[in-house]
Amino acid sequence: MKETYKLILMVIAFVLAYSFPFSGHRVQSAIMESFLMLQEYSRQHILLCLVPSFFIAGAIANFISQNSVIKYFGAGANRLLSYSVASISGSILSVCSCTVLPLFAGIYRKGAGIGPAIAFLYSGPAINVLAIILTARVLGMELGIARTVGAVVFSVIIGLGMHFIFRKEKTEGDNASFITPEDNKDGRPLWKTVLYFAVMVSIIIFANWGRDESIKAWQAVYRLKWIITISLLICLAFILVKWFRKEELKEWTISTWGFAKQIFPLLFVGVFVAGFLLGRPGHEALIPNEWVVKLVGGNSIRANLFASVSGALMYFSTLTEVPIIQGLIGSGMGKGPALALLLTGPSLSLPSILVLRSVLGTKKTLVYIILVVFFATISGLIYGTLF
């Protein structure tokens, strides 16, 4: 069977190489867009978002006890507590669908239940404070509120759905004895571990703090972002030198590299393909923009479903979904499809799907995608009918 697959792939590669219209203007533009999108992603998100996330994921794998994860996210945890914590986690992280993946992989492999882990995965990029504020200011208060409520509610519903569907499949945490988490085995008190993670999360937040001249306080923080970030990096260096042994730091580095080598190549492939098909915001690639606009006008089931599916495949870096949807609304996109796209776009993308499959497997990934698309479509229909 493997040899048959190899033959099929070879035939497909030959047909593409032989007949694909590489000399066509649109194809050449799409190829250029794929490289430009890859470059844009590398410049804007690798150093300040993705790399810190890898280190946080490595820290979760090494310095968060499995008992702690099981207490809050495991199968035996209080369901109200675990889903509440998971569903609002995005409010403190300004991450995109790709940046949240290392964090999700970290807690999932530590034994978190599939339900709370998926709630965290969905809420992380869907309800960060920066995106909600920008949505309300640019697209209107109604859409901002609808996005917030929808993201929080759906993170719980989708998490519960995944738990129910895969309730017979056990994670590492399902079979673990449920005991109260203790401080680090090397004697490091819990408050030091909490502070260590708080500093790393703060580095991501302030390093990626965006400009908004309409809010004075916001702009004041923006002017000081690098001073704050460098100060936090100095604090982190002090913490690492004073509170951690060399062996621990080595293990942390190894875990970080493990996440990076698994996720990084798939992200690059996904971003490249997304750029080839859809291009960067405001630029056309293989699929013409007018096709998308024609398909998401009005408030039909087809328009909302197409918006949801498109959002699940397109790559939105943090906050970029707002100007993209603003442009689509200006071109005739309905309010319902706009909300549907807001509820799928930040939480899913072709790159994140490729990586998620390597963590969850094909079946769980497909079910997660279907749940997200389904509830986003329904929410778009309801919102478009009411408003």
Find the length of the chain: 387
Per-residue pLDDT reduced to its tens digit, 350-383: 888 888 888 888 899 999 999 999 999 999 999 9
CB of 99 within 8 A of CB of 236? Answer: no
φ, ψ at 333 (rounded to 5°): -70, 135
Higher pLDDT, 306 or 2: 306
What's the pLDDT at 240?
A: 92
Average pLDDT over residues 86-109: 70
Per-residue pLDDT reduced to its tens digit, 62-74: 887 656 665 666 6
Using CA atoms, how far apart are residues 110 and 313, in angstroms rounded to an integer?
A: 28
Q: Which DSSP string do the residues of 173-227 spell out, in sequence order?
A: TTSS------S-TTS--HHHHHHHHHHHHHHHHHHTPPP-TT-HHHHHHHHTHHH
Higher pLDDT, 129 or 277: 277
What's the pLDDT at 273?
A: 81
CB of 98 within 8 A of CB of 351? Answer: yes
CB of 92 within 8 A of CB of 161? Answer: no
What's the pLDDT at 173?
A: 45
Which candidate, 383, 314, 381, 371, places its Cα nearest to that of 346? 314
In the chain, % of residues over pLDDT 70: 82
Say whether pLDDT at 171 is over 60. Answer: no
Say whether pLDDT at 181 is over 60. Answer: no
Per-residue pLDDT reduced to its tens digit, 292-301: 777 888 888 9
Using CA atoms, how far apart are residues 155 and 89, in angstroms rounded to an integer?
A: 10
Per-residue pLDDT reduced to its tens digit, 133-160: 667 777 788 888 888 888 888 888 998 8
- b or e along 290-306 (b: 16 or more beta carbons within 10 Å of the residue's beta carbon)? eebbebbeebbeebbbb
Per-residue pLDDT reduced to its tens digit, 317-343: 656 677 677 767 766 788 899 999 988
Using CA atoms, how far apart are residues 251 and 266, in angstroms rounded to an integer?
A: 24
